[in-house]
Structure 1
Amino acid sequence: MLVLRPVQLTDLPQLQRLARQSMVGVTSLPDDSERLRDKVLDSCTSFEQHVQSPGPENYFFVLEDLATQCLVGCSEILATAGFSEPFYSLRNRHFNSASRELNIEHDVPALSVCQDLSSHTLLRGFHIDATLERTVFSELLSRARLLFIAAHARRFSDAVITEIVGYSSDEGHSPFWDAVGKHFFDLPYVEAERLCGLESRTFLAELMPQYPIYVPMLPQAAQDCIGRIHPDGQEAFDILEREGFETNSYVDLFDGGPTLFARTGNIRSIARSHSTLASPGSSIDARGRYLVSNDSLENYRAIVADLDYVAGQPATLDARMCAALKVSEGSPIRLIAL
């Protein structure tokens, strides 16, 4: 059985393995033991704190195979994207140009560095073992974060965003970076993303041009990258799109990948999940497959389970499910159909 749970310091060696396997652009999962250690300790502190409103907390989850005790994925929630440091994006908006004398009027798309999204909750760090891609466990890894937000709503903003990794070639070549960022840093895309993971996006973002970048002046290859998803990021995009997330007028500062946005209360796994009580049982005549979580904080757990659930009644869970979720008779749980 696979279970999603909060990260622990003992997970550090396996996290380094996941970091080495993650795709370029997932800067929140750096292949560096000290940075990963800091992230784990920061997450542990976040789960322990008594919080009444969203702040700098970072909630880091891992997906564990209970039979082998092997980690096969990880994902995160940053409670407030721009709380500890500015959260920079590129705003993709049209500027109107007009000439009364010539009777000409047209819109020119332009990219501008901004901090518009700083107050939103940020989903990031999604990575799953290649053998589990496009399975229900990808849904568990991504959507169980949303069930956690539903259970602890006061810890999070009323809007949630995520940045989907933009296009780059198999060799790590990004046409968007080459046309924009490289002129200001003289760094390859892969190296810039590595530095962002080790240090901070802020020091690079602050060197980006503060004036609008007119899109028609960029090479066509770079224009084609604006809002384009890296093939390996498509699954993360698809899962959240089904949750009600939508693309907006913001793209990633370095690779031009799309930013997804949703009002927290409108997200499917939050708005449609059911709260009920656990009822241990010896046998289950399963009628459907569900994501199931407890409502705990430090001991948060989530699994995929085949259940016979009737709305408004307790959910019968077998012994393995109860053990994985760390629940007993009458414990509050939350579930949503897959």
Structure 2
Amino acid sequence: MLVLRPVEITDLPQLQRLARESLVGVTSLPDDSDRLKERILDSSASFEQDVQGHGPENYFFVLEDLSTERLVGCSEILATTGFREPFYSLRNRPFNSASRELNIEHGVPALSLCHDLSGHTLLRGFHIDAALARTPFSELLSRGRLMFIAAHSRRFAEAVITEIVGFSSDDDRSPFWDAVGKHFFDLPYAEAERLCGLESRTFLAELMPQYPIYVPMLPKAAQDCIGRVHPDGQDAFDILEREGFETNSYIDLFDGGPTLYARLCSIRSIAQSQTGTAMPVTSIDARGRYLVSNDSLQDYRAIVAELDYNVGQPVALSREMCAALRVADGSPVRLIAL
């Protein structure tokens, strides 16, 4: 059985393996043991803190195969973007100009450096083993975070965003980076993303052009990257789109990948998840597949389960499911159909 749970310090060696396997562009998952250790300790402290509002907390989750004790994925929630430093994006909006004498009004798409998205909650660090992509466990890894937000909403902002990794070639070249960022940093795309993971995107963003970049002046290959999803990031994009997330006018400043946005009240796994009480049983006449979680904080757990569930009735769970969720008879649980 696979279970989603908070990361622990003993996960460090396996987490570094996941970092090595992750897409270039997933900067929140650096292949560096010291940085990953900091992330783990920061996450552990966040789970332990008694907070009454969203702040700099970071909640890191791993997907573990309980039978082998092997990690097969990870995902993360940053409670507040821009809390300690600006969260930079590129705003993609027309730059309008007009001439009264010629009776002409014209809009030219332009990219402007901004930190408009500071203050939102950020989903990041999504990575799953390739063999599990587009399976219910990919849904668990992504949406399990949203069920955690549903159980502890005061810890998060009213709106959630995520940046989907933009297009790059098999040799880790990004046409968007080559046309924009590389002119200001003599670095390949993969190296720029690596530095962001190890340090901060702020020091790079502050050297980006402060004036609008007119999209028609970019090479067509770069224009085609604006809002384009990397093929290996499509699964993450599709899951959140089904959850109610929508693209907006913001893109990643390094690879041009899209930003998704949703308010808490419109996110399916938050607004439509049901709560009930666990009831251990010896057998289940399964009629549907669900994501199921406890509502714990430090001991949060979520699984995929085949259930026979009726609204308003106790949630019948096998002994194995109860053990994975760390719940007993009468414990509160949360669930939503897949």
**TM-score class normalised by the smaller sequence:** over 0.9
- Matches for 1:66-77 after TM superposition, within 5 Å: 66-77=66-77
CA distance in structure 2 between the aligned counterparts of 1:209 and 1:54, rounded to whole angstroms: 31
Whether 2:200 is the aligned partner of 1:193: answer no
- Matches for 1:154-303 after TM superposition, within 5 Å: 154-303=154-303
Deviations 1:188-235 (A, max 9, x none): 000000000000001101111111111111111111110001101000
Matched residue, 1:100: 100
Instruction: Please state whether the residue corresponding to 1:80 is helix, strand or coil.
Output: coil
**One-letter code aligned to 2:108:** V
Whether 2:9 is the aligned partner of 1:9: answer yes
**One-letter code aligned to 2:204:** L
CA distance in structure 2 between the aligned counterparts of 1:168 and 1:284, rounded to whole angstroms: 46
Deviations 1:152-197 (A, max 9, x none): 0000000000000001100011110011100111100000000000
How far the C-alpha of 1:297 sits from its partner, in A, is 0.2
CA distance in structure 1 between the aligned counterparts of 2:85 and 2:279, rounded to whole angstroms: 45
Matched residue, 1:91: 91
CA distance in structure 2 between the aligned counterparts of 1:300 and 1:71, rounded to whole angstroms: 16
CA distance in structure 2 between the aligned counterparts of 1:98 and 1:222, rounded to whole angstroms: 27
Q: Which 5+ residue runs of structure 2 have no aligned equivalent?
A: none
Deviations 1:15-40 (A, max 9, x none): 01000000100000000000000000
**One-letter code aligned to 1:98:** A
CA distance in structure 1 between the aligned counterparts of 2:131 and 2:299, rounded to whole angstroms: 27
Q: TM-score, normalised by structure 2?
A: 0.99
CA distance in structure 2 between the aligned counterparts of 1:288 and 1:250, rounded to whole angstroms: 37
**One-letter code aligned to 1:10:** T
Whether 2:25 is the aligned partner of 1:25: answer yes
CA distance in structure 1 between the aligned counterparts of 2:227 and 2:250, rounded to whole angstroms: 8
* Runs ≥4 residues deviating over 6 A: none
- How many residues are treated as equivalent by the alignment? 338
Q: Which 5+ residue runs of structure 1 have no aligned equivalent?
A: none
Instruction: Please state whether the residue corresponding to 2:143 is helix, strand or coil.
Output: helix
Identity %, equivalent residues: 80
Whether 2:302 is the aligned partner of 1:310: answer no
Q: Single out whichever of 31-40 and 103-112 deviates more from structure 2.
A: 103-112
CA distance in structure 1 between the aligned counterparts of 2:298 and 2:147, rounded to whole angstroms: 14
CA distance in structure 1 between the aligned counterparts of 2:131 and 2:95, rounded to whole angstroms: 46
- Matches for 1:60-139 after TM superposition, within 5 Å: 60-139=60-139
How far the C-alpha of 1:283 sits from its partner, in A, is 1.0
CA distance in structure 2 between the aligned counterparts of 1:313 and 1:89, rounded to whole angstroms: 46
The RMSD of aligned alpha carbons is 0.5
Instruction: Please state whether the residue corresponding to 1:185 is helix, strand or coil.
Output: coil
Matched residue, 2:36: 36
Whether 2:147 is the aligned partner of 1:147: answer yes
Q: TM-score, normalised by structure 1?
A: 0.99
CA distance in structure 2 between the aligned counterparts of 1:69 and 1:52, rounded to whole angstroms: 34
CA distance in structure 1 between the aligned counterparts of 2:88 and 2:45, rounded to whole angstroms: 25
Deviations 1:64-101 (A, max 9, x none): 00000000000000000111211000000111111121
